[in-house]
Amino acid sequence: GLHPLYVITPTYRRPEQLAELTRMAQTLLLVRNVQWLVIEDAKVPSKHVEQLLKRSGLLYQHLTAAMPEQYRKRRGAKPKGVAQRNRGLQWLRANASVGVFYFADDDNTYDVAIFDEIRSTKRVSMFPVGLCTKFGLSTPVVSSTGAFMGFYDGWLGGRKFPVDMAGFAVSVKFLHMRPKAIMPYVPGFEEDGFLRSLAPLEPKEIELKADNCTKVLVWHTQAKANAPSPPLDMVKYNQTNLA
């Protein structure tokens, strides 16, 4: 039969959270044999996320992994979602033997076709991601004869694998063959660090998906941050004023 697809999604509490998770849940309802690993950046699972997951009808695991304090307190760029993705890897190592996994942030936009593309990943596959840099695209560069030529990204940063988090998938069997693979807490180098930890693995060995990387089937969208809503007593006060 069809092997499972594991979608690893870090999430955290903010005004947009339920909107993003609803959008993503309803995308995943269109995907066959998918298990959603939703991992909160929190010490305890929250009721509102649990309710959404239960109501979705999806097969899911609701886990938690808080960003370590030393990184949370840091000024500037933080390693967002790293603790949770590593928790997802830990869950797969303990609970999965076959299939493919994909790191899918809660705020991106997924064409359902991407999930069928990555299902056939033997080791590691890659494909274009739209919108993630000012260059509008992050992708492997492929020649007209289908040969891997290199990477295109707005920021190369000396990376061996200059790709977006949404731009690759890995087979569970391959993960089991790389017991030390882990995502580092280094902002900007999370993808590269993780892919390097899958060594031995060379860019030219990557399986190219989405019609030899000619199609964009996932976008790194970002919701504009909203101010948190005012406390309820404030809302009541305003309503009283209107009456």
Residue nearest to ligand UDP (CB): 81
To which H or E segment does residue 154 belong?
A: none
Tell how many helices (H) and how many strands (E) occur in the chain: 9, 12
Q: How many residues bind Mn ion (CB under 5 A)?
A: 2
Collapsing DSSP to helix, strand or coil, 167 comes out as: helix
Q: How many residues bind ligand UDP (CB under 6 A)?
A: 12
Q: Render 11-70 in DSSP notation, one character per residue.
A: E--STTHHHHHHHHHHHHTTSTTEEEEEEESSSS--HHHHHHHHHHT-EEEEEE-PPPHH
Contact pattern for Mn ion over residues 153 through 192, marking x by CB under 5 A: ----------------------------------------
In the bound state with ligand UDP, the residue whose beta carbon lies nearer, of 92 and 104, is 104
Any contact of residue 105 with ligand UDP (CB under 6 A)? yes
Q: Which does 219 bind (CB under 5 to 8 A by kind): ligand UDP, Mn ion, none?
A: none
Do the bridges between strand 100-103 and strand 137-142 make them parallel or antiparallel, or are there none, so unpaired? unpaired
Any contact of residue 106 with ligand UDP (CB under 6 A)? yes
Do the bridges between strand 124-126 and strand 168-171 make them parallel or antiparallel, or are there none, so unpaired? antiparallel
Which pair of structure tokens corresponds to residue 216?
A: 């964009």
Stretch 207-226 residues interacting with ligand UDP (CB under 6 A): 222
Residue nearest to Mn ion (CB): 107
Any contact of residue 10 with ligand UDP (CB under 6 A)? yes
Any contact of residue 107 with Mn ion (CB under 5 A)? yes
Any contact of residue 107 with ligand UDP (CB under 6 A)? yes
- CB-based contact 163:191 (threshold 8 Å): yes
Chain positions contacting Mn ion, by CB under 5 A: 105, 107
Q: Which residues are designated catalytic?
A: 191
Chain positions contacting ligand UDP, by CB under 6 A: 10-12, 41, 67, 80-81, 84, 105-107, 222
